[in-house]
Chain A
Amino acid sequence: MASLTGYATVSMILFSLGAIGVVSRRNVFIIYMSIELMLNGINLFLVTFARYHFNMDGQILSIMVIAIAAAEAAIFLSVIILLFKTKKSLDTNVFTELKQETE
């Protein structure tokens, strides 16, 4: 079995990649995928520590995260379709309606 450090590192790398993806990618789909990546990274982290401490709490939380991610996926994808209908583009830079008017 690989050491704890290894698993933790992998999950942190996954999480970081996801975070960077959310911030730096412009396509809404990619942002969504990055969010999913972040969630899965955290799942791995939770499960790792659950297995390490022989405590079921981590695994239960991880199942809840998966469930919520699934629900979120449904809403997210519908919203993306609506967004595409309004602006015919999936570039986040286009959706700036709430911006402060500069004079």
Chain B
Amino acid sequence: MHTPYLIWIILIPLLGALLNAGFYIYHIKFKKLPEKLFAIIGTVTPFIAFLFTLNLFFKLNDGSENFEQFLFQWLDVDNLSIEMKLLGDKLAIFMAMFVTFVGWLIHIYAVGYMKGDDGFGKFFAYFNLFLASMLILVLADNPVILFIGWEGVGVCSYLLISFHYTDGDNVMAGNKAFIVNRVGDLGFILGVITLFFALDKTGISFGDMQANISIASNDLLILSGFLLFVGAMGKSAQVPLYVWLPDAMAGPTPISALIHAATMVTAGIYMVARFHFLYSSVEEIGLFIAYIGAISAVFAAIIATRQQDIKKILAYSTMSQLGYMFIGVGLGFYSSGLFHVFTHAFFKAMLFMGAGGVILALHHEQNIFKMAQHRKRLPIISATFLIGVIAISGIPPFSGFFSKDAILAAAFQQGEYLIWGVGMFTAFLTAFYMFRLYFVVFVAPNGHEKEYSYTDKTITFPLMILAVGAIFAGFLNFPAIFGGSAFVDTWLAELNSVKLHMSHATEYALMFASIAVAVAGIYVAYKKYANYDVYKPESEEGLIANKFYVDEVYDKLFVQSIKRLSRYFDETVDTKYIDGTLMLACKGFISFGKKLAIIQNANVRYYAFYMLAGISATSMYIYITLIGQ
């Protein structure tokens, strides 16, 4: 059903970005403008977008058809007809809802966090642009338009990570993010192309591809499924394309909260869900995705247990939770995976914002042990942080429990006991390192007097709202065995997710197991860290603390070798071989000419000799030819 409103969801943040950009240029070139102007434009636009989304949500809930909006013909060459068209079906609106809502809250948070920064206006311009790109991504009707949003969020991520660009480290982190993402994008584009040709060029919009999926051969489907997932690996920081995510923490905390917790990194899972018609028909790739998710989850969790920078702990935690989401969608449980995306957005954003609040209060200190040494009293932040930590550890009735448990049950039901086991172990580790973080930063005794420190309302207000979400969002998908309506599952029924159907006994047993595992993790953390002497920080040695040396391996394997190859190409192949051959030809001419010139030695006798020789030869020749007559 056509609607004219979908485009406004995208255009309004875009407009906000352009306005802020224009005002910012005015601000630096001519007269300074007050921060309030940028702040108001920056925070009002996401809220309006959220209202539009909410409107469409209610309409869909009332039983309306999926919304579409055709804008214009983007490209029409041969059989390739790409339209600039937006699709507002239940999945898209689901994503758009929490993206705009959480995005709005983080924009408010950013007003307080970025106060006093030189590039305040520029920040909000980029931030709104990011939101607009993410909305293009979720509302796209075909993978090419999705890719426009996909790359758009990548660029904004680059711009925002390297926001304080005078420090080279930030820019390097931004570069790393962009380039590693690009490797993923390479896979994505190839996946789209393979799929398009495999479907015999019948159409490129999601609807067309879904209708024609049976044309493609199984091998090509597996190939394109794999390639598309490579894109997701890059965007959602799974093994082996995850190395950019911890470095991305160099950017200001609001963007870590928005981009690297709630929105951009979830694009990969959204993409897999969007292509559900593909992945449902090639279960091998789905299994592969689930395994990659499991590996990433446990790998990240292990590294997180020894990290000392608060944002890096949260970054690895994000990677780990994203692994869970991929286990979900990989095994075909699209709605469960997406539900975890939803709950995770709330508590992870809240955790990041809380961390940002602490960082600000302690003058940009990010090492958890040093934070504890100079702790100040921050009641609201502590409380919301505790809620977030409990939620992520999977303790009922907070939301994290429902979403994580659904995924673990899914793995168990499909017979993937290895994945289930890994998931349980990761849950244990998650509880452990999150509570390690909480205890060290907020609880462990220190020698200082705790003074109360005032925190800006713009920082605490979003935290409180998100806390409510973190606590209660679980009830949106309350499982049937408890008598709930499983709202999210029914909402996303179009995706034909695999349904959970196991005996109640099994389900209770599994739930009990996951709670037990989480409590065990909390207990171990409590024993070790609740009374930790924070003046004795943990060592930074060892395999785990050095993140398994993956960065170093990548550097040696890829970066150094490409640099050497580059030098080789320029200096040896180009200059010595190719150009050398050319110059050899030139020098050959010149030396040949010089050798010829030796004849011209200006000595008359030689010239006389040449003349004599020439005339003799000619005469002999004429004589001999005339003899014949």
**Which A residues form the contact surface with B (CB < 8 A)?**
19, 22-26, 31, 92-93, 95-100, 102-103
Contact B602 A99 (CB under 8 A): yes
Taken together as a complex, chains A and B put the C-alpha atoms of A25 and B604 apart, in Å, by: 11
B602 touches A102 (CB 8 A): no
- A28 CB to closest chain B CB (Å) equals 9
Kindly list the 8 A-B residue pairs having the minimum CB-CB distance in the complex, ordered from nearest: A99-B602, A100-B597, A96-B602, A98-B602, A23-B609, A100-B600, A22-B608, A92-B604
A31-B604, A100-B600, A102-B594 are known contacts; what are 13 more A-B pairs with Cβ within 8 Å? A22-B605, A22-B608, A23-B605, A23-B612, A25-B605, A26-B605, A92-B605, A95-B604, A96-B602, A98-B602, A99-B602, A102-B598, A103-B594
C-alpha gap A4/B603 in the complex (Å): 38
* A96 near B612: Cβ-Cβ < 8 Å: no
A24 vs B604: C-alpha distance when bound (angstroms)? 11
Q: How far is the CA of A28 from the CA of B605 in the complex (A)?
A: 10
CA distance A102 to B605 in the complex (A): 20
CB contacts under 8 Å to A, within B574-609, are 594, 597-598, 600-605, 608-609
Contacts of B597 in A (CB 8 A): 100, 102
Chain A residues, CB < 8 A from B601: 96, 99-100
**Nearest A residue to B597 by beta-carbon distance?**
A100
Inter-subunit contact B602/A97 (CB<8 Å): yes
Minimum CB–CB distance from B156 to chain A (whole Å) comes to 62
The interface residues of chain B, by DSSP majority, are classed as helix
User: 24 A-B Cβ contacts within 8 A?
Assistant: A22-B608, A23-B605, A23-B608, A23-B612, A24-B605, A25-B605, A31-B604, A31-B608, A92-B605, A95-B602, A96-B601, A96-B602, A96-B603, A97-B602, A98-B600, A98-B602, A99-B600, A99-B601, A99-B602, A100-B600, A102-B594, A102-B597, A102-B598, A103-B594
Chain B residue at smallest Cβ distance from A20: B612
B280 to chain A, nearest CB (A): 78
Complex Cα distance, B605 from A92, in Å, reads 7
Q: How far is the CB of B609 from chain A (nearest CB, A)?
A: 5
A8 and B87 CA atoms in complex are apart in Å by 113
CB distance from A67 to the nearest CB of B (A): 23
Chain B residue, CB-CB nearest to A97: B602
B interface, CB within 8 angstroms of A: 594, 597-598, 600-605, 608-609, 612
Residues of B within 8 A of A31 (CB): 604-605, 608
Please name all residues of chain A whose beta carbon is closer than 8 Å to the beta carbon of B605 when the two chains form the complex.
22-26, 31, 92
**In the complex, what residues of B have CB within 8 A of residue A22's CB?**
605, 608, 612
Residues of the A chain whose Cβ atoms lie less than 8 Å from the Cβ of B594:
102-103
Query: Which B residues are in CB contact (< 8 Å) with A23?
Result: 605, 608-609, 612
B600 close to A92 (CB less than 8 A): no
* Residues of the B chain whose Cβ atoms lie less than 8 Å from the Cβ of A25: 605
CA of A2 to CA of B502, assembled, Å: 140
When chains A and B are docked, how far (Å) is the Cα of A74 from the Cα of B540?
Answer: 107
- Residues on A with beta carbons closer than 8 Å to the beta carbon of B600: 98-100
> Contacts A100-B597, A102-B594 given: A92-B603 contact, CB under 8 Å?
yes
**What is the chain B residue whose CB lies nearest that of A101?**
B597
Q: Within 8 Å CB of A100, what residues of B?
A: 597-598, 600-601
Asked if A19 and B602 sit within 8 Å, CB to CB, the answer is: no
Q: What is the bound-complex CA distance between A100 and B599, given in angstroms?
A: 9
Q: How far is the CA of A96 from the CA of B607 in the complex (A)?
A: 12
Q: Which residues of A contact B608 (CB under 8 A)?
A: 22-23, 31
Instruction: Give the distance in Å from the alpha carbon of A95 to the alpha carbon of B606 in the complex.
Output: 12
List residues of chain A with CB within 8 A of the CB of B604: 31, 92, 95
Please name all residues of chain B whose beta carbon is closer than 8 Å to the beta carbon of A95 when the two chains form the complex: 602-604
- Shortest CB distance A45–B (Å): 14
Per the bound structure, the CA–CA distance linking A67 and B255 in Å amounts to 110
- Residues on the B chain within 8 Å of A103, using CB: 594
Q: Which residues of A contact B612 (CB under 8 A)?
A: 19, 22-23
CA distance A17 to B244 in the complex (A): 94
Q: Please, how many angstroms separate the alpha-carbon atoms of A24 and B594 in the complex?
A: 26
Q: Is the CB of A93 within 8 A of B609?
A: no
Shortest Cβ gap from A95 to chain B (Å)? 7
| B319 CB, nearest partner CB in chain A, Å | 67
A97 CA to B608 CA, complexed, in Å: 17
Q: What CA separation (Å) do A102 and B603 show in the bound complex?
A: 15
CB distance from A54 to the nearest CB of B (A): 25
For the complex, what is the distance from the CA of A102 to the CA of B601, rounded to whole Å? 10
Complex Cα distance A92/B601, Å? 12
Distance between A100 CB and nearest chain B CB, rounded to angstroms:
4
Across the interface, name the chain B residue whose C-beta is closest to A34: B608
Chain B residue nearest in CB terms to A100: B597
Instruction: Please give, as numbers and ranges, the residues of chain B lying within 8 Å of A96 by CB-CB distance.
Output: 601-603
Closest B residue, CB atoms, query A103: B594
CB nearest to B593 among chain A residues: A100
Name the CB-closest residue of B to A35. B608
Residue among A24, A100, A103 with the highest chain B CB neighbour number at 10 A: A100
